[in-house]
Amino acid sequence: MKELGEKVHLTGPATSARVAKLEENGVIQGYTIKVNQEKMGYSIHAIIQIYIKDTNHKPYLSFLKKQKDFVINNYIVSGESCYLLEGKFPSNEKLEEFLEGLSKYVSYKLSIVINNK
């Protein structure tokens, strides 16, 4: 809190009190860490637009639960696609296996992240 306080020109105790109040009011809902996926062995970062013609999305969602090692986020979105799936993969072979399984449930468009700047 001392370091944060220095950045916003407050003392450590004043910063702690403000952060506590923001937590109590639900402004700060939690804390997280950012993991370097590449250093964890996942060198391929994919963004996949998911298209489902059927109104039953359960088979797709069940498939994702079994593939949680590869799924970072699965957003329900408006627009052309139904979901925007963000995934990480250790190799092209694992990505290909994932896409083969995925294609049993949905149509998709794949984009590979080149750089995250």
Q: Is the same domain home to 9 and 64? A: no
Alpha-carbon span 108 to 65, nearest angstrom: 18
Alpha-carbon span 28 to 4, nearest angstrom: 15
Q: Is the same domain home to 17 and 48? A: no
- pLDDT one-digit tens code per residue, 17-30: 999 999 999 999 99
- pLDDT one-digit tens code per residue, 57-69: 999 999 999 999 9
Count CB-CB contacts under 10 A for residue 32: 5
Q: Is the same domain home to 52 and 8? A: no
Coil vs helix vs strand at 17: helix
Q: Is the same domain home to 18 and 49? A: no
The answer to whether 94 and 70 have CB atoms below 8 angstroms apart is yes
List the CATH number of the domain containing 84. 3.30.70.920
What global pTM score does this model have? Answer: 0.77
Q: Is the same domain home to 54 and 107? A: yes
Within a domain: 35: no
Strands 71-76 and 83-89: antiparallel
**pLDDT tens, N- to C-terminus, the chain (117 residues):** 889 999 999 999 999 999 999 999 999 999 999 888 889 999 999 999 999 998 999 999 999 999 999 999 999 999 999 999 999 999 999 999 999 999 999 999 999 999 877
Q: Is the same domain home to 102 and 63? A: yes
Question: What contacts 86, CB < 8 A, 6 or more positions away?
Answer: 45, 46, 47, 48, 71, 72, 73, 74, 75
Domain range holding 22? 1-30
